[in-house]
Structure formats: structure tokens, C-alpha cells
Structure 1
Amino acid sequence: MPPRPNRPLPLATPAGIEVLTKILTQGPIPRVEIARRTGLSQAAVTKAVAPLIDAGFVTDQPVAVSPDEHVESQLGIGRPVSPLTVVANSVSVIGLKVTPTDLIGVTTDFTAGIRAVRHRRLPETSADTVAANLVELARELIAEIEASDAGPLVGIGVAVSGDVDAEHGVVRDSPFMGWRDVPLAAALTAKLDVPVVVTNDVRALTVAEHWFGVGVNADSFAVVTIGSGVGCGLYINGEVVSGAHGVSGELGHLPLAPGELVCTCGRRGCVETVASSDAILARARETTGQADLDLAGAIELAHAGNEDAREAFDRAGEVIGSALAAMVNLVGPELVVIAGEGVADYDLYEQRMREAFAAHAFGAAGDCRLMLRSHTFDDWARGAAATVIRSYVRGEPPLQR
């Protein structure tokens, strides 16, 4: 039998899950406001939250309101408000991000606030080597949790690029890692005896934005990541989209680039063949004739006005803008967050990207906001932790109650 969280949540009903989710993502929040936002009665909210307060997951310590503030609460106009807040250190979570060269690990509290960060260099990318290093990194973070005043560990999240079967914890296809059908969750769980959630890295980042970032109050949004690859996570109709077969939002593999360009996935004409940081560097080397140019050098040349280097970024902006328009035309999000390690170069192709987006967005889809949000690899690891928190609250495998 797989391990379970060593501190189960006292949630027995869908109403309890909904109430805790509102407190976690939108708190501090009064009971009356939870009732208004969920459609539940105040009595139902109080019933749902009582065991959470008793168990130390939620607190209702009152917040004083000044006499000249007219705050409507469950206690009346101008009376002290007792908002409900999650006790952040009631539990701990570990999030791990896998790249071809490094592992990034974080510990977080119940609100996905990062408490500690550790990085580990990978000697190579075989699944066995990466799994062994993940176990060692996780054990270091577990020891750090145990040596602190942090709450008990309830689960570990692992974020990997590519096609990931999150339900079974299997990395079906990760071109960057060179993996196919790797049962990563089972390998880690056997060594760590802790529930492990393995998920696509962009989807994990989208969960973090949905629960703890720009998506908290958004009806719909997309997260587009630009770096070594181009990814996309979607939040539509109240849920992060996983796809019927576990694949969705593969913006980087839309066939919008020249057909002679071969992608890391083995197909031709993918957006990534032009718009990824590796593709931009390859094009800059080709156009400038400088075979030893690195990405920092290409950026410097482009900023200095070198037309050959600039062309690589312009071409990337054109394809990214067209891909964004195609995605927005199809699903209609109100906001697109552009993130990832490649956004440091955003200024070099922003104008061309926005022009291409405007040219191809249909009708009111062009009103979708495009927003830059800087992320580091620590944020990717935090996304993996946020995925665990969501599964923990909802009682989803492997964190079912």
C-alpha cells in the first residue's frame, strides 16, 4: 500500500474542501465572505471549518477594525472581524524541479511560501542517476525540515518537462531528459516512503499561479514559458487543463516554424525550433558567423544594434506572437503570463511578438492581456510543491485520505 500523508486533513465533504481552498487561496477571509463566494450558508461554513481550527490547520484570531472603518462582517457593521487564515507552518511540502544539468529543491509551508532552497548539479541525465540524486536531495531537505520548527512533511512534488502521466507518476516522453516511460514516482516513493507527485513542469507552474499567484482571481489564464523549450499551461472553466491523455497546451510544438527545422521532439517546424533560447542562439551563430557565440553574447550584440543577431530575436518574436494568437483564438483566456528563464530577453522581441499577436488574434481575442512575470528555477520547484498542496487539500492520489 502506498504511503499516505502523516498528517491527514479533517475534510470529509466537498463543502469542507471548498471552504479550505477559499481560505488557502484568498485568505485572510471572513466566514460571511466565504459563504458569499461559495453559495454555502454561514452555518455550513462554520461546520466545515471547525475541525480545521481544532486540528490547527486554520486560525480565526480576530483582527481589530478602527472605529472609522465600516467593515461588514459576520459580527455586524464596524464590529471586530475574525478572518479565517491558514496556519502556514501546520505542514511542510518539498518541491523538486528537474533540468538536464541541475536539480532544484525547495521546502515550503502550507501556503507555498519558500522556506529553504537547495541546488544539486547532475553528472548526467540517465533516469537511474537522476532518481538517485533526487532521493539524496529530498533527504537533505527532509533533514532540514526535521531540524526546524516547520510542520510535518505531507508530500513531495517533482516537476519534469515533457509528456508526464501525473496519475501514475510516469514520465512518458521527455526529449530534454532523453527519457521514455520512466516510472519516476514509484522509484522515489520506494526509497523515501513519502507520497510523491510527478507532473509536467509548466502545469505545475500554472497550478502555483492559480492557487497562489496572478490566477487567484482570474476566470481564465494561460502561462507561457520561454527558455530551453516553449511550454504552455491553461486554466479554463475553473480548472488547470490536463487533457484527456495527460497532454495539453503544447504551444512549443505547434507547426508554425519553417518545415526544414527539426525539433528536439523529432518533428519538423515546431515553434521551439525558432523561439527557444537554444534556437535563438543557433540562429545568431549562423547569421553572425560567430560559431563560439554564447547566448549572453548574442543578447549583447542584439542590444548593440547588430542586425544579424537582432534577426534571430525578431524571428522568435514573430513565431511566438503567432503561436500566442492561435492559442488565444482557440481557448480565449483573459490573461497570458509570459514566464521562464527566457523572459530576460523579452525586450528584444516584445514589439515583434505583440505585432504578430495583434495581426493574428481574432476579434475580441486581441483584448487578452499579455503580461511578463519573471520566474527562476526556484519558482518551478515551488510549482511542484503547489501541486502537492492542491492534491493534499483535495485528497487526490497519492495523497488521498
Structure 2
Amino acid sequence: MPLRPHRSLPLATPAGVEVLTRILTQGPIPRVEIARRTGLSQAAVTKAVAPLIEAGFVTDQPATPAEAESQLGIGRPVSPLTVVRNSISVIGLKVTPTALIGVTTDFTAGILTVRHRPLDDTTPAVVIEQLAELAKELMEAADATTGPLIGIGVAVSGDVDARHGLVRHSPLMGWRDVAVADLMAKHLKVPVVVTNDVRALTVAEHWFGVGVDADSFAVVTIGSGIGCGLYINGEVVSGAYGVSGELGHLPLAPGDLVCTCGRRGCVETVASSDAILARARETTGRRRLDLAGAIKLAHEGDKHAREAFDRAGEVIGSALAAMVNLVGPELVVIAGEGVAEYDLYEERMRQAFQAHAFGAAGKGRLMLRSHTFDDWARGAAATVIRSYVRGEPPLQR
């Protein structure tokens, strides 16, 4: 697979970036509609689109017979614009304590290839080497229809400095100050974008998912950790220091519980899958119980197992209320690997949410959206696509 596109994106102005973003995230879309949504003149839209079409990144999609018929007698038929999916490709990698997940996507973050690798050693050097091997495996799997590779996205939980490709602190991985981008560069001569995994998932939802038409939304992930990504005022929130939306570390749980981050009373000490399992083991007396077994017991009505999920739901609902009281998103997407047991804590969660959400903030919709680890890797790829379109480091045009 080629390491870079045969030509760079011909985007010389902010208007060009805006136009391509609209086509990419909302296409197929007519020029007149792009003009309406961006406030640009149709002439400006045409000027921005022309070099993209010439370079093979965008194409006119012929109007359907029904569309053409509906436009008869009112001027030239509209030909919606759409991106050429295979004009580029991207690799997205998701890091977990037990596995590495990799995908290759097209320009619209559509998944082309998937690879999984088990992980039994979270030492940074070992993980980086295996990430590089996984990326090479995905490159070798490319065929003639796969577009030229523009970059690799790596999604990791925790405090991530995306600008410098540095994982400052990932409690789940046991990492501190790991220069992922620089270490990957020793194995692969490809631009690498490193980001917080929940923020990557939020970018994917913003550009290619439920957030495309939303004015504001939040993605809350429930699983080994509790995360939150925020899309507010036209942008996914990164925070001044690269930290934002850390719902799992709000101090809403009992103060005697110690979190993996080293602090006390974090939401994750009650609501993460590990915390729920630990509580179920403690209250049922079944020390060898696994999470699937705890879920089964709770579904069967075991009061001790149910208590673990009820307690988690109470704290998650309170955390959601705190978040909507602060930023007021119109939609909250609840996602992640922990949604399999969502029904066990949903009622208590919604009760706590309604009890603590202030005024009209409580009108925000709560939507369940199941995600696999492949989707998390796709989110990493989406961050590369966004950086490529915007000309952000390390993908400057």
C-alpha cells in the first residue's frame, strides 16, 4: 500500500476546508445546499469544489431519474457532490489491556479490513512493536481497490496529549509519559495521530454518525472505564490541556473506594465493569464469579448481584446529570462494551438522572448505541481523516 496519497488535498482556503467537510460528512449534497448551509456563494462553492474534482477526491453524482424528473423545467438538473471513497485509506488502531484492534477504512471511515491481536504484556515497548506489526499486516492486506494510505490513528484511554502524540497517563494500561507517535515512527514511516479513545469515538460520531445533524451531543462510554466525549459549539471538546469529559473521575462515589487513577470516590470505583464485578463477588460470596456470571445472576433476580448494578446505575445517572447541567447537550449517546448489561441499571440510572438534572437540561435524549472495539479503532481512523482535511499536524498539507 502506498504510504502517502499520490497528490495532496487541494485546499488552499478555509472555505475549501468547509466545503469538503460538508461533502464528506453530509454528502451526497448539491452545491446549492452547501451554499445554504455554509453561507458561501454558489460561485465560491464551485471554485472550492473544482480542484477537488480534478484531483479525484470528489465527484458529481448523477441525479436519479426521480430527481431529474422533479427538476424538469426549473433549470439544470442538480448533481449532488460526494467524496471518492477510495481516493485515500487510513489505518485506525485501538489499544486495550488485553487486545489490539486494527481497521483499514476509506475516506468516509467505512471499514474495509479488520484485524485483532491478543495482548498479554502492556509494557509500552512491547505494545508499540505489536501495534507496528498490526499496522504492517493491515498494509499487506490492501488490494488494488484500496486507496493510498495517508496516516495511522492510535486510540488509547486516559490523558493523551494529541498534539505531541504522548500518552501522559493511562491507568488502564499502566502507562505514564509514553511517546507513542515517536516510538511508532521508529517502526513505520507514516504520520501517526494519537488520541484519547473516547474523543476518537466522538469524532467518528460527529463526522460520520449520529452527531452529523446534532447541534450538541455527548458520547458516554461504559465498560472497563467510564468516559465522555463532548461536541459543543461546533467542535469536539479537547480541553486546554488535552483533558475533558472525564466523567469516570467525578468524585460521586463513596470516599473509601480507591480508583485505578489513585484517587478516591471516582465514578469508576462503582460503575466500571471491574467495580461491578468486585461488588457482586463481595456481596454474593462467589470469589470466582466472572462478569457474565454476575449479569446472569442479576437477570435471574439475585438481590446481591442486582445491588451491584443498581449502585452503578445510581452513580452513572448522577454523573450524567452533572454533565448535562454543565454543558446541556441535546443528545447523550451511551456506548461502549458495557452496554450489554444496560437493562440491569437503566431504570436506576434514569431515576438518578431525572432527580439531579436541573430544569430543561433533563429534556436531553439518552440514546443507547452499542459499539464494538472495531468502532473504537474506526474512531482512531476518523481522527486522521479530520486532521488530513483540516491540515493539522502531523498531516499538514
Q: TM-score, normalised by structure 2?
A: 0.97
Q: CA 1:76/1:381 → structure 2, altered by over 3 Å: closer, same or farther?
A: farther
Given the alignment of the two structures, is residue 129 of structure 1 paired with residue 146 of structure 2, yes or no?
Answer: no
Q: Which residue of 1 aligns with 2:94?
A: 97
Q: Deviations over 1:19-40 (max 9, x none)?
A: 0000000000000000000000
CA displacement at 1:123 relative to structure 2: 2.7
Q: 1:260 to 1:69 in 2, by over 3 A?
A: farther
Letter in 2 for 1:114: I
Listed one character per residue, the Cα deviations across residues 54-105 of structure 1 (whole Å, up to 9, x for unaligned) are 011000032134289645xxx9748632000000011000000000110000
The CA deviation at 1:189 is 1.8
Q: Aligned ranges for residues 247-396 of structure 1 at < 5 Å?
A: 247-396=243-392
Output the amino acid matched with 2:283.
Answer: T
Secondary structure in 1 matching 2:141 = helix
The amino acid across from 1:274 in the alignment is: V
Question: Separation in 2 of the partners of 1:345 and 1:116?
Answer: 29
Q: CA deviation at 1:336?
A: 0.3
Aligned-partner SS, 1:22? helix
1:226 aligns with 2:225: no
One-letter code of the match for 1:129? Answer: V
Distance 2:347 2:93 in 1: 35
CA 78–12 in structure 1, closer or farther in 2 if over 3 Å, else same: closer
Secondary structure (helix, strand or coil) at the match of 2:186 reads: helix
CA distance in 1, matches of 2:379, 2:243: 18
1:126-165 deviation line (CA, Å, top 9, x unaligned):
00000000010000111112x3311100000000000000
Percent identity between the aligned chains? 82
1:242-291 deviation digits (Å, cap 9, x = unpaired): 00000000000000000000000000000000000000000000110100
Q: Counterpart of 1:213? A: 209
2:90 is paired with a residue whose SS is strand
Aligned residue number for residue 157 of structure 2: 161
Quote how far apart the aligned CAs of 1:298 are: 0.4
* Residue of structure 2 equivalent to 1:52: 52
> For residue 113 of structure 2, what is the aligned residue in structure 1?
116
On the 8 A contact 1:4/1:195 being kept in 2, the answer is no
4+ residue runs of structure 1 moved beyond 4 angstroms?
A: 3-6
Shift of 1:10: 0.7
Q: How far apart are the structure 2 equivalents of 1:233 and 1:69?
A: 44
Instruction: Tell me what 2:104 maps to.
Output: 107
How far apart, in 2, do the equivalents of 1:311 and 1:235 lie?
33
- Root-mean-square deviation (CA, aligned residues, Å) is 1.4
2:78 maps to what in 1? 81
C-alpha contact 2:105 2:112 (8 A) present in aligned 1: yes
The structural deviation recorded for 1:4 is: 7.0
Residue of structure 1 in register with 2:31 after alignment: 31
Structure 1 pair 76–47 and aligned structure 2 pair: CA distance change class (3 A): farther
Residues 230 and 252 in structure 1, CA contact (< 8 A), matched pair in contact too: yes
Q: Distance in 1 between matches of 2:74 and 2:279?
A: 64
Give the 5 Å matches for 1:165-184.
165-184=161-180
Contact 1:16 1:48 in 2 (8 A): yes
CA distance 1:55–1:283, change in 2 (3 Å): same
Residue 8 (structure 1) aligns with: 8
Give the TM-score normalised by the residue count of structure 1. Answer: 0.96
Kindly provide the amino acid, as one letter, of the partner of residue 157 in structure 1. Answer: G
Give the count of matched residue pairs.
395
Tell me, yes or no, if the aligned pair for 1:64 and 1:81 is still in contact at 8 Å: no
Note if contact 1:59-1:84 (Cα within 8 Å) is conserved in structure 2.
yes
Kept after mapping to 1: 8 A contact 2:331/2:367: yes
Amino acid in structure 1 at the alignment position of 2:184: L
Shift of 1:122: 1.4
In the alignment, the residues of structure 2 paired with residue 200 and residue 69 of structure 1 have an alpha-carbon distance, to the nearest angstrom, of 48
In the alignment, structure 2 segments of 5+ residues that lack a partner are none
Alpha carbons 2:87, 2:147 under 8 Å: kept: yes
Distance in 2 of aligned mates of 1:359 and 1:188: 47
Instruction: Name the structure 2 match of 1:142.
Output: 139
Q: Distance in 2 between matches of 1:148 and 1:4?
A: 15
Q: Distance in 2 between matches of 1:33 and 1:283?
A: 54
**Cα distance, 1:210 vs. partner?**
0.2
Residue of structure 2 aligned with 1:189, choices 185, 189, 193: 185
Match of 2:64, SS?
Answer: coil
Rate the CA distance shift 1:302–1:67 in 2: closer, same or farther, 3 A. closer
